[in-house]
Structure formats: structure tokens, C-alpha cells
Amino acid sequence: MEHEQKGHHHSGHKHGALIQQLLDCATACENCAASCLDEKDVTMMAHCIEIDRDCADLCYLAAKLLTRDSEYAHEFLAICEKACRHCAEECRKHEHEHCKNCAEKCTQCAEACHAHHGKVEVS
């Protein structure tokens, strides 16, 4: 009996630029979380740190899924977009330079994810 493997809808696409944006966003989020820990009022930054860490992990996972051309990659980009938008919104509440940089990278990444996941929606 011959094994048939189903092809998935994005097989063969080049995702290098998106993968780099995901990695840049994850790095900015990790940097923001680490920098928040150095702020005078860490308690006030707790939610920002949590969101930064979640966003970084999701961006790293999205990059991995795209790298291996996973059939779940494009659907997962919708989740990543949502996390990036949430992180950008949280970081915009703070005046720290690392938060401003993180918000910018997250916004760029959210837009890139949106452009690639097509009509997939996450509620």
C-alpha cells in the first residue's frame, strides 16, 4: 500500500522576510521584558512583561512553523497577529524606549502576519 501525503496550500512559498520579521519582533519583545525588569516599579510593568513573553514565544513558534512549511503555519499567523497587536497596545501605555521599540516591531509584525494568513480569523 502506497502512502499518500496531502499537499498543503502554501507549499513552496518563500517566507524568509516574514520569518525575519517574526524573529525581530520576538527579539524586541524579549528585550522589552528584560528591560521592564530593570524599571523602578516592576510591579507596574508586570502585565507588559507577561504579554512580551507570550508574544515572543508565539513569534518564535510562527517562525519555526513557516521554516518547516507546516500546514498549520498560515492559520497560526492569525494567532500571532492577535498577540502582536495586543503586545503593541500594552507597550504603547508606557513611555520607556524599549516599550516604544517593542510596540513598533509588534505593529509591523502584526501587519506582516495579516498579509500572509489570508482570510483566517481568530476570535
What proportion of the chain, given as a percentage, has pLDDT over 70?
A: 85
Q: Give tens-digit pLDDT for 38-89.
A: 999 999 999 999 999 999 999 999 999 999 999 999 899 999 999 999 999 9
DSSP 3: P
Domain ranges of the chain: 16-117
Cell readout for 33 is 521584558
Alpha carbon distance 114, 110 (integer Å): 6
Task: Give the right CATH number for 16-117 from 3.30.830.10, 1.20.1270.360, 1.10.10.10, 3.30.70.260.
Answer: 1.20.1270.360
DSSP 44: G
- Return the pLDDT at 117: 78
More confidently predicted of 116 and 8: 116
User: What is the value of pTM for the model shown?
Assistant: 0.85
